[in-house]
Structure 1
Amino acid sequence: MSAPTSHRSAEEIGRTEQGPRPLPELGEQRAAADLSSVDTVLPNGLRVIAVRRSSVPLVELRLRVPFADPADTSVGSAHAARSEVLASTVLTGTAARDRVAIDTELALVGGELDAVVDPERLAFSGNALVSGLDTLLDVLRDVLTGAVYPADEVERERARLVERIRLARSQPNVIAREALQDHLYGDHPYAKEMPEADEVAAVGRDDVADLHARAVLPRGSVLVLVGDLEPDAAVAAVGAALETWVGAGEAVALRPLPAVRGGDLLLVNRPGAVQSQIRLAGRGLERTDPRYPALQVANLIFGGFFSSRLVENIREDKGYTYSARSHPEFTPGGAALLVDADTASEVTAAALLETRYELGRLSLVAPTEAEVDTARRYAIGSLLTATSSQGGLASFLVNLAGLGLGIDWFAGHPERLAGVTVEQVSEVALEFFAPSAFTGVVVGDAEVLSARLGALGGVALP
């Protein structure tokens, strides 16, 4: 008879031994360099990347169209509103197919197609059985060259968007994100991630059709195909299907953002809130910078995964937050380091103090070899896991393409990560993780927070 199993006490539940948790050794890695691929530009200016990954008989499609305001006007423009309505209605009908016909043809080949938009790009994502690739491409061609934006569909989707935006603007995370973007980037169009509800309500069918004609352009765009396919044949199929997608000019990319500079945080008042959102931001590095692998490892050690110092401190040890993290964000012409934590109001100042402490500790005290080794292995393993599926690889590659990179960068990154040293991590930590390198916002009830944050310092009070 086996001995009874002991149970953890209430105090032990949710807590773990401090320090990096051991990770299993990485298994044999499939070399990305062995993937058969083609990366080329078609006569209409569309860049096409086709990659053979034959795990299942499917093909994943990603199309990225840079989608900044052609007039490059400020945050107050109607471009964001028109873009949202366009993305919501571009698949609702063409001269040859209505919404039902589009969905039916794709379903018959085991496929689907969706569209989303943000300040940087209009993105189409889809998939189908390999045998249905021609159908998937033909539907995409029809949408890109012949979307008609039926007035009833525009009216219905516009009303849905207005309600969604009004609801989203009441959510603490959305309030915090918008406050941070405004604090960092002012009136740059990148800060306008969500249009105003009244701007959307004013969008008409002709507005959307005109934007499509002016901005949905192949030159400067990139299409990625990953699946059980022959890359050369896939590129030829894309060329034949999309040869009629043409247009004057080039898809408009956002102008570079101003660099993030350290400074005081801004307290944004949210009366009556029982929780606060801490959002910090500092300057990051682009993926092409030779120091980026070391910065990636440093970020993991600080707050980039569950065994990080920040999580161990303010979640595991002190219980100030359920979730804390740090992560890079790649922006037009640059990058930022972001730190997020949601806390109860009464411990907000204490959580900010501990966050600053962990930033300072990383920037001034070299991490251990064990910490660096754990972070290196986690970075390599998570990269390979995220790109192990056809869809994951397609999404990763189209994001790289938006930064001007290709599959060669992806293939070489595990080796770059494996070569990161403690000294390299210490060097980038000193420059990028010093508390003085960060700014940001705290969103919460100013009446509750002001006294403690004022005593802590470095926070501009309302």
Structure 2
Amino acid sequence: MIDRQTAPEFKDIDHIELIRPEHIKLENGCNIFSFNSDDQELVRIEWIFANLRFDLAKPLLNVAVNTMLTEGTTKLSASQIADQVDFYGAFLQVDYGYDHSQVTLYTLNKHLASTLPVIKAVITDSVFPENELETFVRNQQQKLQVSLQKNDIVARRKFNKAIYGDTIYGLGAEFEDYKTLQRDDMLAHFKQMYQPSNCNILVAGKVDDTTLNLLTKSFGSEWSNYSVKADATQPELAPAAEHFYFVEKPKALQSAIRMGLPSIIRSHPDFPSLQVMNTVLGGYFGSRLMANIREDKGYTYGIGSGASSLNRGGALFIATEVGADVCKAAITEIEKEINILKTELVHEDELSLVRNYMLGSLLGSLENIFSHADKFKNIYFSGLDYDYYDRYTQMIRSSTAEDVLKTANKYLDLDKFYKVIVGKY
């Protein structure tokens, strides 16, 4: 019988065992990574493609082509694609990211043979009908007009442009950019990008021989490469010379603040230490920024900091929305917390809480086989191996107050911060 008067024994997390995939390299250059679990008769398949080189003259090609993949093929209309997937209780979605775009299918194993041909048609035979393109452009322009009324979105766009310049990372679509979309350009982009040599397939769930045979047959010898190789190189990042941006909105009740600077990415040896330092500063609900700006001063409902890691660049950032009348005071308090982190050692109780939070979050994120596949994506597309997670957990467990102080001084240079304020200042 459970003794509910006694708390469970506390145990340190010293190692997290991750499921590793089986790998198949097809003759056409496509990689298949499979994560098998017999828990349910369900499978998730992701087709992941590296985005093509960013073209400033046609900035929306990557996102528009990916978003419109399900709008029609030579034989299927958008509604027919949706109906055929829905009929089998499956789920199909397309997702765009700065580095990669992907198509994802969730389906019961028994329906894979019926749903897979639909996905293959989407990936190999999309035609971007002119009427659907016109609807897409119109809808996106309307969404953009609404989004630009939101201070936090304007601040994020300004910040990314300042940090990353005229690259795919710094892109903030403008109303006129949608007029550059032409069907012929999209078809050419699609053929070059959505080809096997530029594709990694991740399949997770109940992955038996039947599943793998269906995948290798459909996306192996039956899928050939385009005559033009996918160019996934990207322009060099060029941060702006100007470090302060203010967009005035006289009637604003709140001001959006976003501040930070370019930083290291996941493949850098210091990245785990940076994550520890960031968590102390603003990376969870009990962080110093939350304790000061929200709990003590009452300037905001929420504030946080983050360390983003993309293939070709990263950033440290702090984001919040505060009452317009306390904007300057909030920035002063943010800078005060950064300076304290750079000059005073973190108390062991606080650091212990952060360690436990970070390790617990990592362990808690591994709830199913899909989670293990997601962890693999983090390292695979960063050029890392599984020893990254061993180093990550070890670095968290062994972090000291001196480590946090050193990392803060190394990466939090307020003189190099970019500051964006939208609202009143």
Give the partner amino acid of 1:73: D
- Structure 1 partner of 2:193: 215
Fraction of identical pairs, as percent: 23
| Cα distance, 1:365 vs structure 2 | 1.2
**1:369 equivalenced with 2:351 (yes/no):** no
| Cα distance, 1:138 vs structure 2 | 2.8
SS in structure 1 at match of 2:32: strand
- The answer on whether the counterparts of 1:44 and 1:245 sit within 8 Å (CA) in structure 2 is yes
- The answer on whether the counterparts of 2:243 and 2:419 sit within 8 Å (CA) in structure 1 is yes
Q: Select between 368-377 and 386-395 the one with higher mean Cα deviation.
A: 386-395
Give the partner amino acid of 1:439: Y
- The answer on whether the counterparts of 1:256 and 1:334 sit within 8 Å (CA) in structure 2 is no
Structure 1 residue runs without a partner (length 5+): 1-23, 450-462
- The answer on whether the counterparts of 2:92 and 2:103 sit within 8 Å (CA) in structure 1 is yes
- Structure 1 partner of 2:360: 381
Residues 425 and 48 of structure 1: CA distance in aligned 2, closer, same or farther (over 3 Å)? farther
| Cα distance, 1:53 vs structure 2 | 3.6
TM-score of the aligned structures, taking structure 2 as reference length: 0.87
Q: What is the total number of aligned residue pairs between the two structures? A: 414
- Residue of structure 2 aligned with 1:239, choices 181, 200, 216: 216
Show CA shifts across 1:198-252 (max 9, x none): 332453433322221233233243222221224x775554322212142231351
- Structure 2 partner of 1:358: 337
- Structure 2 partner of 1:286: 265
**1:396 and 1:255 mapped to 2: Cα distance?**
28
**1:41 equivalenced with 2:25 (yes/no):** yes
Structure 2 residue runs without a partner (length 5+): 1-8
Residues 182 and 50 of structure 1: CA distance in aligned 2, closer, same or farther (over 3 Å)? same
Residues 418 and 62 of structure 1: CA distance in aligned 2, closer, same or farther (over 3 Å)? farther
- The answer on whether the counterparts of 2:15 and 2:390 sit within 8 Å (CA) in structure 1 is no
Give the partner amino acid of 2:119: L
**1:79 equivalenced with 2:59 (yes/no):** yes
- Structure 1 partner of 2:151: 172
- Residue of structure 2 aligned with 1:227, choices 205, 222, 225: 205
Give the partner amino acid of 1:153: E
- Residue of structure 2 aligned with 1:206, choices 170, 184, 201: 184
SS in structure 2 at match of 1:60: strand
Residues 29-178 of structure 1 aligned to structure 2 (within 5 Å):
31-33=16-18, 35-69=19-53, 72-74=54-56, 77-80=57-60, 82-178=61-157
Residues 390 and 270 of structure 1: CA distance in aligned 2, closer, same or farther (over 3 Å)? farther
Residues 177 and 294 of structure 1: CA distance in aligned 2, closer, same or farther (over 3 Å)? same
Show CA shifts across 1:250-284 (max 9, x none): 351434424799x8433232332221111111233
Q: Select between 410-419 and 279-288 the one with higher mean Cα deviation.
A: 410-419
| Cα distance, 1:168 vs structure 2 | 1.5
Give the partner amino acid of 1:240: K
SS in structure 1 at match of 2:245: strand
Residues 28 and 234 of structure 1: CA distance in aligned 2, closer, same or farther (over 3 Å)? farther
Q: Select between 299-308 and 408-417 the one with higher mean Cα deviation.
A: 408-417
| Cα distance, 1:406 vs structure 2 | 5.1
SS in structure 1 at match of 2:71: coil
**2:389 and 2:47 mapped to 1: Cα distance?**
19
TM-score of the aligned structures, taking structure 1 as reference length: 0.81
Residues 357 and 103 of structure 1: CA distance in aligned 2, closer, same or farther (over 3 Å)? same
- Structure 2 partner of 1:17: none
- Structure 2 partner of 1:250: 230
Q: Select between 281-290 and 335-344 the one with higher mean Cα deviation.
A: 281-290
- Residue of structure 2 aligned with 1:440, choices 399, 419, 422: 419
| Cα distance, 1:370 vs structure 2 | 1.8
- Structure 2 partner of 1:10: none
Alignment RMSD (CA, Å): 2.8
